[in-house]
């Protein structure tokens, strides 16, 4: 389900879906077992039916978010994770010092050095991140300005140069990667600073490890609403359906090294009541 609004997404399978054909009255008694099987396996209304990374999935409309703005300073109760001067709040995934370069008020991915993760763990948060993809742009599709903001190190909001750069809808900038395209494409051109303002509620697991509440995420991209309380269906994976694995209530924030020299500045986070 997307945004709790059944029917929000067009469903390309609907014209050929067995769910549709199941609605017809079978002509023979032999058809009834097949009908029952179809009813049982049909996806309920509102549940996402596009294949993961489908290139047929419509691209969101483009919205010009206006010109880039100066860095947005943190509110008083925010935890500043990066203020442009050092990566003291970050480390590599293996616990060694973060190896991304810091200069001129930003940090930049050094391809091949790996992701960086916050030293602190977080659960429910409000997060502000500013980023810029390389200019002039290099590469196409997923290879152009790819990085990512991984809430709890698991749930990716895609960072990508999606300015005149086509890719599958669930993999463009501000997508919940592999799950939910943004409502609109509010990308600025490469080299310009862009913002993500994110409200994230972590998943809740029952003592037996089953999912009690899925994670939810709201994202503003350059001030434009692009994810509206979107249900996250599981940890980010490539080219597969996501699913949940139980995990702790707090985990580090992660920024992805996808081999492209993407820049970040002004990263702050506010912990929300759990
Ligand atoms: Mg990415």
Q: Tell me the CA–centroid distance for residue 209 and ligand 1, in Å.
A: 28
User: What is the arithmetic mean of pLDDT over 208-234?
Assistant: 98
Q: Tell me the CA–centroid distance for residue 219 and ligand 1, in Å.
A: 16
Q: Tell me the CA–centroid distance for residue 76 and ligand 1, in Å.
A: 30
Asked if the 43-271 domain carries CATH number 2.60.200.30, the reply is no
Q: Which of 37-46, 98-107, 249-258 has the lowest mean pLDDT?
A: 37-46
Q: Say whether 34 sits in a helix, a strand or coil.
A: helix
Q: Which of 41-55, 115-129, 241-255 has the lowest mean pLDDT?
A: 41-55
Q: Tell me the CA–centroid distance for residue 157 and ligand 1, in Å.
A: 8
Q: What is the pLDDT of residue 11?
A: 36
**pLDDT tens profile 28-78:** 444 444 444 444 344 444 455 899 999 999 999 999 999 999 998 899 999
User: What is the arithmetic mean of pLDDT over 93-104?
Assistant: 98
Q: Tell me the CA–centroid distance for residue 130 and ligand 1, in Å.
A: 15
Q: Tell me the CA–centroid distance for residue 132 and ligand 1, in Å.
A: 13
* DSSP assignments along 202-225, one per residue: --EE-TTS-EEE--EEEEEETTEE
Q: Tell me the CA–centroid distance for residue 3 and ligand 1, in Å.
A: 22
Q: Tell me the CA–centroid distance for residue 151 and ligand 1, in Å.
A: 12
Q: Tell me the CA–centroid distance for residue 141 and ligand 1, in Å.
A: 11
The rounded distance, in Å, linking the Cα atoms of 234 and 256 is 18
Q: Tell me the CA–centroid distance for residue 32 and ligand 1, in Å.
A: 46
Q: What is the pLDDT of residue 72?
A: 86
User: What is the arithmetic mean of pLDDT over 195-208?
Assistant: 98
Q: Tell me the CA–centroid distance for residue 180 and ligand 1, in Å.
A: 14
Strand bridging mode 155-159 / 211-213:
unpaired
Q: Tell me the CA–centroid distance for residue 15 and ligand 1, in Å.
A: 33
What band does 242 get if pLDDT is binned at 50, 70 and 90?
Answer: very high
Residues with Cβ–ion distance below 5 A, ligand 1: 146, 148, 158, 256, 258
Q: Tell me the CA–centroid distance for residue 259 and ligand 1, in Å.
A: 10
What band does 20 get if pLDDT is binned at 50, 70 and 90?
Answer: very low
Q: Tell me the CA–centroid distance for residue 165 and ligand 1, in Å.
A: 14
The rounded distance, in Å, linking the Cα atoms of 165 and 159 is 13
Residue 96 has pLDDT above 60, yes or no: yes
The rounded distance, in Å, linking the Cα atoms of 132 and 264 is 7
Output the average pLDDT for the chain: 87
Residue 198 has pLDDT above 90, yes or no: yes
Q: Say whether 35 sits in a helix, a strand or coil.
A: helix
- Looking at per-residue pLDDT, the higher value among 97 and 43 belongs to 97
What band does 274 get if pLDDT is binned at 50, 70 and 90?
Answer: confident
Q: Tell me the CA–centroid distance for residue 217 and ligand 1, in Å.
A: 17
Q: Tell me the CA–centroid distance for residue 78 and ligand 1, in Å.
A: 25
Q: Which one-letter DSSP state was computed for residue 273?
A: P
Q: Tell me the CA–centroid distance for residue 176 and ligand 1, in Å.
A: 10
Candidates 270, 266, 268, 172; CA nearest to 227 is 172
Residue 172 has pLDDT above 60, yes or no: yes
Residue 114 has pLDDT above 90, yes or no: yes
Q: What is the pLDDT of residue 48?
A: 59
Q: What is the pLDDT of residue 43?
A: 45
Candidates 67, 99, 105, 70; CA nearest to 85 is 105
Beta bridge partners of 230: 217
Q: Which of 14-28, 129-143, 172-186 has the lowest mean pLDDT?
A: 14-28
**pLDDT tens profile 157-166:** 999 999 999 9
């Amino acid at each position: 389900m997307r945004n709790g609004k059944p029917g929000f997404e067009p469903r390309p399978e609907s014209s050929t879906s067995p769910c549709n054909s199941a609605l017809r009255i079978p002509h023979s008694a032999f058809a009834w077992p097949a009908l029952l099987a179809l009813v049982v396996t049909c996806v309920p209304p509102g549940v996402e039916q596009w294949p993961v990374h489908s290139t047929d999935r419509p691209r969101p409309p483009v919205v010009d978010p206006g010109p880039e703005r100066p860095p947005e300073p943190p509110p008083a109760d925010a935890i500043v994770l990066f203020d442009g001067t050092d990566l003291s709040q970050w480390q590599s995934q293996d616990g060694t010092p973060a190896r991304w370069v810091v200069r001129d008020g930003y940090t930049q991915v050094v391809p091949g050095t790996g992701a960086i993760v916050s030293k602190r763990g977080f659960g429910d948060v409000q997060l502000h991140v500013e980023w810029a993809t390389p200019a002039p742009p290099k590469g196409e599709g997923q290879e152009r300005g790819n990085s990512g903001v991984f809430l709890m190190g698991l749930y990716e909001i895609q960072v990508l140069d999606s300015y005149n750069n086509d890719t599958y809808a669930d993999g463009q900038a501000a997508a919940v990667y592999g799950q939910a395209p943004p409502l609109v494409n509010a990308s600025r051109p490469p080299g310009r600073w862009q913002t993500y303002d994110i409200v994230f509620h972590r998943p809740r697991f029952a003592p037996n490890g089953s999912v009690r509440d899925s994670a939810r995420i709201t994202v503003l991209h350059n001030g434009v609403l692009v994810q509206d309380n979107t249900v996250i269906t599981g940890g980010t994976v490539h080219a597969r359906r996501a699913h949940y694995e139980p995990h702790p209530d707090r985990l580090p924030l992660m920024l992805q090294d996808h081999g492209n020299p993407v820049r970040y500045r002004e990263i702050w986070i506010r912990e929300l009541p759990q």
